[in-house]
Structures are given as structure tokens and as C-alpha cells.
């Protein structure tokens, strides 16, 4: 597939790197020639130096032959203009990065008038993810499938968890809830486990469960829960704004520490119920004073990973039960975890998963659409939801008799609104939503790819 990406910032580079790995023909447009030279040294892509909103530059990138354009510059206006121009020049599909809350409120109008096929907002996605985590702070990650009916949650097996030492085949006998463990992270190893797999203390397990049963699952696992009442945000970024809106609507008290005085004034107008403090959120004495043993959660949202890490660790030392750090560089995730910071949010990765799902679905119009895609275990495992259709192979055949590829697990089947955690005697029918887990080494674009 021919894809043009405009903007080689954090989001643009991440998308370029992943889409290039999946074999797409990528052309990147950016005004900074040095960034483009660095990109060419790490990825096998074409580059064009210039303004992506320019007709001349888009034609130089052969936009008229492109299947998809992704506008991911730092300017919403340039992104919108680029997508509009690309459509007029013959590009089939366009995706625009839109971050400004004023534009976000009129997305329906913008999509219809400018012909946008999809919009991405890393900051809003990060705020949504953090908010969901705070609903169940014991989870390290939450991913939703089947229109909210099913979730895959990441849980660390600490001392006292009821299933430590047990085989997965005996799981239901212990917790009395129908769930399925689809991936286990143990040190540097990742497993898509069978029924003989035995859980150990320190494992991070990814559990598939029906959404209404998440609270019961925590109780059955003997994992304590924490009710969130007071949240401190370090940094008054767009993520902080989107998140504070959600938290306040839920009745949670929000305090934001922001160094820029003008931004503090803006946040005071936008969030009249929040307490906005003008000060350096990385300053030890200020943070100590503002927490004062009253904060349930500290979330560091500054633009420097190292500072976010330090503040999250510092919050733990001050007795704050939950600390979350925004990170951009995932290669150091294991280092962060050694300091006790296990809840981390990466906005560009959240967006990348959404775009990958869209791109893979574009390339598959005959064998059932990909409905959802989430990446887990530092992008080593993918959980995907597909719609089974008449052209899907092995329909009606018991799963124990189906020749699956190695490291493929059917996580759940949703049939007419009913969630099935399958055994070997269950089967897939046309019309089912099927959730699978697989190693991310070989991209899966349709349901038939899970079979040998």
C-alpha cells in the first residue's frame, strides 16, 4: 500500500517506523532536511523536503497514486489543509492529527466538509487511557473490545494473589469467574500460555474478562483496590486539560501544577473547579507541600521522560499510592520499572495502534474487517478483534480440530451479544466477533491469517 506521511515528529516517526516494517511503500514529507536524513538512515522510505500542504510538494510525493495520507504535523490547520488538498489531488483516504479542543468539538463537521476518513488526537487518547486506569488502579493497562463488552487487563501477580502456583487449566476452580489469560510477561520473556502454564509471583498477566466482572476479578485474585478522590497533575498540557475534564465530571478533586503563568490563567478559565498552582512541578519542596499526604494519585505529564520518572518515584516515596508517568521513549520501559514505576502512558503508541488497525483493514475488504487492535507487552503481543464472514475458513469446526498457526490464541468469541471464552469444543460462526492474541512479529490483517 502506498502511504504518504506528512510530519516527522514523534507521532510521524513512530507511524513511519511501524508501517515500513509491515511492508508498505512509505513517503515522508517534512520541512526539516536533517530529520529526513536521520529517518532515511533508520527506515527504508522515500522523503520529500517541503511543506506538506503545498500542491507542488504533494505532487512530488505522487499523492495522486497514494492509498492513504496521514497528516501528523504540530499544526492542526496545516494538517487539515493537507488532507483537503490531498483528497482534491486524488488520494483515496486521509487521516488528520487534530489536538486543539476547539476543533475536537466540531469533528463531525470537519470530517464531512473536508472528507477526512479518520482523526487522531494523541493527547485526548492519553487522557482517556489514564482515566480508565484510575477507575481500577490495580490494573497496569486496560484494552477494550466488542464495543465495551470485553476487556483485556494487565495485572501484576504480587504476594498473596490467589492463583500463584496454579496451572491455568485450574483457574476457574479458584476464582469462579470465566476469564482467559492470553499473555504472560515474566522478566524478559513473553508467553502466550497453554493450560499447563503455571503462574508465578512477579508475573504480569493479561486477562480477558467481561467488563462488568472486573471488580469481582480483583476480589477473587486477592488484589487490593484503591478509591481515587484527589489527583495531582504535574504539567498543564493538553493531556492535563482533557484528563481534568473527565476527572472533575466524575467528582474527583484535581490539582494542576504548571510553570507557565499564562497557561495557568488559561487553565483557570477552562477548568474553574480545578486548583491551578503556578510553580515548577519538578521542584521537590513544592511537590511535597502540595501533596501533604492528601493525594491518591500523582501523574507527571511534563515533556521530559526522565523528569516524569523522577517525579513518579518521588511520589511513591512520599506515600502516594498511585503514580503514573508519561513517556515518549519506550526502549527504557524496563529501566523505569526497576524504580517501581509500572504505570506508564505513551500517547504516540496509543495512536499508532489505531492507525495500524485502519491501515490493515484498508488492505482487507473480503475476509472480514478488523474491528479493534491493541498492542501489549511493550508491543510484543497484539490483541485483535475481527468479524467472521462466510469466507472465513474453518467455520463450525471445533477449535481443537483447527490448524492454528503457532503462538495464536482465540481469546473470546462474541455471538449475538453473548461472550464466549472458548474451549476446544467451541467454534466460530459467520457473524461472530472473534478476539485473538498473537505475537506481533508477523502482521495479521484478516482472520484467515491465524490458520496454518
Average of per-residue pLDDT across 261-279: 96
- What is the band of 364 on the pLDDT scale with cuts at 50, 70, 90? low
d(CA 204, CA 214): 16
For 49-88, how does the pLDDT look when each residue is reduced to its tens digit (9 = 90+)? 999 999 999 999 999 999 999 999 999 999 999 999 999 9
Give 128-177 pLDDT, tens digit per residue.
Answer: 999 999 999 889 899 999 989 999 999 999 999 999 999 999 999 999 99
* Residue 440: per-residue pLDDT: 80
Q: Which of 298, 442, 316 is nearest to 380 (CA)?
A: 442
* Chain region(s) in the chain for CATH 3.40.50.720: 2-120, 230-345
The CATH number of the domain covering residues in 355-450: 3.30.70.1450
**What architecture is domain 136-220?**
2-Layer Sandwich (3.30)
The answer on pLDDT for 101 being more than 90 is no
List, for residues 276-330, the tens digit of each pLDDT value. Answer: 999 999 999 999 988 877 899 999 999 999 999 999 999 988 889 899 999 988 7
Q: What's the sign of the alpha-carbon dihedral 17, 122, 336, 407?
A: negative
Highest mean pLDDT among 38-47, 71-80, 109-118: 71-80
Which residues of the chain form CATH 3.30.70.1450?
136-220, 355-450
pLDDT of residue 219: 93
The CB density around residue 311, as the number of other CB atoms within 10 Å, is 26
**pLDDT score for 367:** 58
**Measured between alpha carbons, how far is 376 from 379 in angstroms, rounded to an integer?**
5
What is the CATH number that goes with domain 2-120?
3.40.50.720
* Cα-trace Rg, the chain: 23
Predicted confidence (pLDDT) at residue 436 exceeds the cutoff of 80: yes
DSSP-assigned states of every residue in 195-257: TT-B--TT-EEEEEEEGGGHHHHHHHTT-------EEEEES-SHHHHHHHHHHHHTT-EEEEE
Quick one: pLDDT at residue 199?
94
DSSP codes, 226-239: ----EEEEES-SHH
Find the range with the poorest average confidence among 124-133, 167-176, 219-228, 439-448: 439-448
Whether the pLDDT of residue 366 is over 60: the answer is: no
Residue 179 has pLDDT above 80, yes or no: yes
- What is the CATH class of 230-345? alpha beta
Whole-model pTM: value is 0.88
Report d(CA 356, CA 354) in Å as an integer: 6
Q: What is the pLDDT, as a whole number, of residue 185?
A: 92
Residue 377 has, within 13 A of its CA and on its CB side, a CA count of 26
Amino acid at each position: 500500500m502506498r502511504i504518504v506521511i506528512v510530519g516527522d515528529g514523534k507521532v510521524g516517526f513512530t507511524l513511519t517506523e511501524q508501517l515500513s516494517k509491515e511492508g508498505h511503500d512509505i513517503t515522508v514529507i517534512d520541512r526539516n532536511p536533517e530529520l529526513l536524513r536521520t529517518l532515511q538512515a533508520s527506515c527504508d522510505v522515500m522523503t520529500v523536503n517541503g511543506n506538506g500542504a503545498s500542491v507542488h510538494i504533494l505532487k512530488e510525493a505522487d499523492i495522486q497514486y497514494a492509498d492513504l495520507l496521514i497528516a501528523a504535523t504540530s499544526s492542526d490547520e496545516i494538517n487539515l489543509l493537507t488532507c483537503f488538498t490531498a483528497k482534491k489531488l486524488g488520494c483515496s483516504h486521509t487521516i488528520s492529527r487534530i489536538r486543539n479542543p476547539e476543533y475536537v468539538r466540531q469533528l463531525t463537521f470537519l470530517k464531512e466538509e473536508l472528507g477526512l476518513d479518520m482523526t487522531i488526537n494523541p493527547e485526548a487518547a492519553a487522557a482517556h487511557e489514564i482515566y480508565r486506569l484510575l477507575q481500577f488502579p490495580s490494573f497496569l493497562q486496560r484494552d477494550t473490545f466488542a464495543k465495551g463488552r470485553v476487556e483485556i487487563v494487565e495485572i501484576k501477580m504480587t504476594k498473596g494473589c490467589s492463583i500463584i502456583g496454579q496451572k491455568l487449566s485450574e483457574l476457574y476452580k479458584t476464582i469462579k469467574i470465566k476469564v482467559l489469560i492470553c499473555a504472560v510477561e515474566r522478566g524478559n520473556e513473553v508467553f502466550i500460555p497453554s493450560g499447563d502454564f503455571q503462574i508465578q509471583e512477579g508475573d504480569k498477566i493479561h486477562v480477558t474478562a467481561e467488563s462488568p466482572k472486573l471488580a469481582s476479578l480483583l476480589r477473587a485474585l486477592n488484589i487490593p483496590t484503591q478509591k481515587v478522590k484527589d489527583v495531582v497533575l504535574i504539567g498543564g498540557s493538553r493531556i492535563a486539560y482533557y484528563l481534568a475534564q473527565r476527572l472533575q465530571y466524575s467528582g474527583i478533586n484535581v490539582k494542576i501544577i504548571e510553570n507557565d503563568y499564562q497557561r495557568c490563567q488559561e487553565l483557570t478559565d477552562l477548568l474553574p473547579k480545578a486548583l491551578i498552582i503556578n510553580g515548577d512541578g519538578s521542584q521537590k519542596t513544592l511537590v511535597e507541600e502540595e501533596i501533604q499526604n492528601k493525594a491518591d494519585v500523582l501523574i507527571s505529564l511534563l515533556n521530559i521522560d526522565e523528569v516524569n520518572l523522577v517525579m513518579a518515584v518521588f511520589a511513591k516515596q512520599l506515600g502516594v499510592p498511585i503514580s503514573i508517568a508519561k513517556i515518549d521513549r519506550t526502549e527504557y520501559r524496563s529501566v523505569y520499572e526497576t524504580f517501581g514505576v509500572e504505570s506508564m502512558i505513551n500517547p504516540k503508541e496509543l495512536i499508532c495502534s489505531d492507525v495500524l488497525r485502519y491501515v490493515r483493514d484498508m488492505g482487507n475488504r473480503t475476509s472480514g474487517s478488523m474491528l479493534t487492535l491493541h498492542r501489549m507487552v511493550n508491543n510484543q503481543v497484539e490483541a485483535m478483534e475481527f468479524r467472521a464472514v462466510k469466507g472465513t475458513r474453518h467455520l463450525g469446526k471445533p477449535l481443537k480440530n483447527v490448524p492454528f498457526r503457532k503462538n495464536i490464541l482465540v481469546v473470546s468469541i462474541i455471538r449475538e451479544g453473548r461472550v464466549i471464552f472458548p474451549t476446544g469444543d467451541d467454534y466460530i460462526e459467520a457473524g461472530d466477533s472473534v478476539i485473538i492474541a498473537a505475537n506481533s512479529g508477523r502482521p495479521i490483517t484478516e482472520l484467515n491469517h491465524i490458520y496454518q
